[in-house]
Amino acid sequence: MMDWTDRHCRYFMRLLSPSVLLYTEMVTAQALKFGDAASLLRFDEREHPVALQLGGSDPSMMAEAAELGSGEGYDEININVGCPSDRVQSGQFGACLMAVPDVVADCVRAMKASVDVPVTIKTRIGIDNHDDYDFLRRFVDHSVDAGCDTFVVHARKAILEGLSPKENRTVPPLNYERVYRLKQDYPVLTIVLNGGVTTVDEVRSHLDHVDGVMIGRQAYHQPWFLTDLERTFGNGGAPRSRREVVELMLPYIERQLAEGAYLKHISRHMLGLFAGCPGARAWRRHLSENAHKRDAGVDVIEYALERLPEAA
């Protein structure tokens, strides 16, 4: 979810679901070491609980990055061993690390020695021709020995050459049974399933076999889905209407604009809020055509909201 689940997106999604655990977009340990760490790690206190997802393969650098994240207040540090993009592979992190489980284990050890918050792993069920259950189990064993007890498993293998990141989200077939088996064989571990989940009923079915379900693009493109999950599995704190969510966002948007943010960087995450409702197209069009303007303010959002049908 790089370039998607930034701090503005996460604040918006927190309004939709008070209970869900939010994850940052992947941030590389190298970027934190040599870049603007304060800006990369910035988040709003209302986002809690929120996990920082890190990319990297150097244990000492990953430990430093984890310490920075913990110091900023993140509730969990997650190691990305699932992203299949060429850019990620060239940096020696992401899904290609499944082939070197000892490296991942070394990162886990170093990070756990540096922070008190949980260190978890996001991974795939396999890579390229290494897609049998024994391969996944060996990878998990290394990290369990290093102290990791929580794995978020995308139920597709990653094909590192020949497929784009987008194709890697759809072309390799889903294999939920393999994730179920992992939980069955490691009952003391926390196993969270990811990949292709789009309905409340699917979530309910998966929870008969695993400890949790991670939702990615469905929550982004159909954000109101998070309120359905909140009402079904959460603490009952879902907002009453989409309009209420927009109204709750307005003070945040005003604060961010006053601090120098641009409206387009916030409103882009709200485009799908009215998906399936009367006026959804007009909502998206108005934001898309006006939020990018230099002087765009909350009035752009208010105008679009006022012209939605009452049924929206």
Taking residue 299's Cβ as centre, other Cβ atoms within 10 Å add up to 11
Q: What stretches of 115-175 show up as alpha helix (H) in DSSP?
A: 133-145
Phi first, then psi: give them for residue 111, nearest 5 degrees: -70, -45
Maximum pairwise Cα distance, the chain: 57
Q: Decide if 161 contacts 127 (C-beta within 8 A).
A: no
Sign (positive or negative) of CA dihedral 250, 42, 198, 221: positive
Question: What's 127's DSSP letter?
Answer: B
Active site residues per annotation: 83
Quickly tell me which residue has 């006026």 as its tokens.
Answer: 279
**What end-to-end distance do the CA atoms of the chain give, in Å?**
28
Provide, for the chain, the percentages of residues in helix, strand and coil under a 3-state DSSP scheme, each rounded to the nearest 5. 50, 10, 40
